[in-house]
Amino acid sequence: MGFAKLSLKGRALRLLAQREHSRGELEAKLARHVQEGDDLAALLDELQAKDFLNAERAADAIVHRRAARFGSLRVLREMREKGIDEELVRAAGRELAQTEMERARAVWQQRFGSAPPARTAQERARQLRFLAARGFASDVVARVVREAGAAGLDDDDPAP
């Protein structure tokens, strides 16, 4: 069963049933399906009034979905791209900043944890790029890679 026979409201509800959307994101997805006589703004207002469309829930959903794998910069950029209100983005940024270091360590550990520490500049640069591409702040990235290298150099045990 596809979208072919659904009304605009049916499409909106189906999209909202899959995951939370911001108003701007839902408007962009529905705009190409507007028929003559459809009032997209009124539909979105109705969905907001019934709390089917909620910016705070959409922001929380993005943070929940992305924060474990990505840094604050990337999560906040995605929120802005989806049309989340700037005040909610800043609040999420403050929340994410508190756990940035732990999340960066976890992402590094998942990717490089079983590998030997970065002993060459090339390997260190690869690890720095990896974390930076995931949206972690440069000071956090440098600290995580430096700590991982220092921990690896302190180990006197040969690798198994």
- Domain containing 65 equals 55-98
- Split at pLDDT 50, 70, 90, the class of 158 is very low
Tokens 């929120």 sit at which residue?
A: 79
Sign of CA dihedral 37, 39, 40, 46: negative
The confidence score (pLDDT) of residue 157 equals: 44
How many C-beta atoms lie closer than 10 Å to residue 16's C-beta?
Answer: 16
Do 93 and 122 share a domain, yes or no?
no
Give the tens place of pLDDT for each residue, 33-56: 988 888 999 999 999 999 999 999
* Alpha-carbon span 39 to 135, nearest angstrom: 38
* Pair of tokens at residue 146: 């430096």
Q: Are residues 61 and 91 in the same domain?
A: yes
Domain assignment present for 129: yes
Co-location of 75 and 88 in the same domain: yes
Enumerate helices (H) and strands (E) in the chain, giving the number of each: 9, 0
Please write the tens of the pLDDT for every residue from 78-100: 999 999 999 999 999 999 999 99
Is the pLDDT at 149 greater than 50? The verdict is yes
- Kindly report which listed range (74-83, 108-117, 146-155) carries the lowest average pLDDT score: 146-155
Verify that 12 and 29 share a domain, yes or no.
Answer: yes
Helix, strand, or coil here: 74?
A: helix
- Based on the domain organization, do 143 and 107 belong to the same domain? yes
The answer to whether residue 92 sits within a structural domain is: yes
The CATH number that applies at residue 32 is: 1.10.10
- Domain shared by 84 and 117, yes or no: no
Do the domain assignments include residue 134? yes
- The full 3-state SS of 78-145, as one line of letters, equals HHHHCCCCHHHHHHHHHHHHCCHHHHHHHHHHHHHCCCCCCCCHHHHHHHHHHHHHCCCCHHHHHHHH
Statement to judge: residues 59 and 70 lie in one domain: yes
When divided into structural domains, the chain yields a total of 3
User: For residue 1, is it within any domain?
Assistant: no
**Rounded to whole angstroms, how far apart are CA atoms 76 and 90?**
8
* 83 and 109 fall within a common domain: no
Note whether residue 71 is domain-resident.
yes
Length of the chain, in residues: 160
Please report whether residue 86 resides in a domain. Answer: yes
Residues 121 and 145 in one domain: yes
Is residue 124 one of the residues assigned to a domain?
yes
- Domain match, 110 and 144 both: yes
Give a yes or no: residue 3 inside a domain.
no
pTM above 0.85, yes or no: no
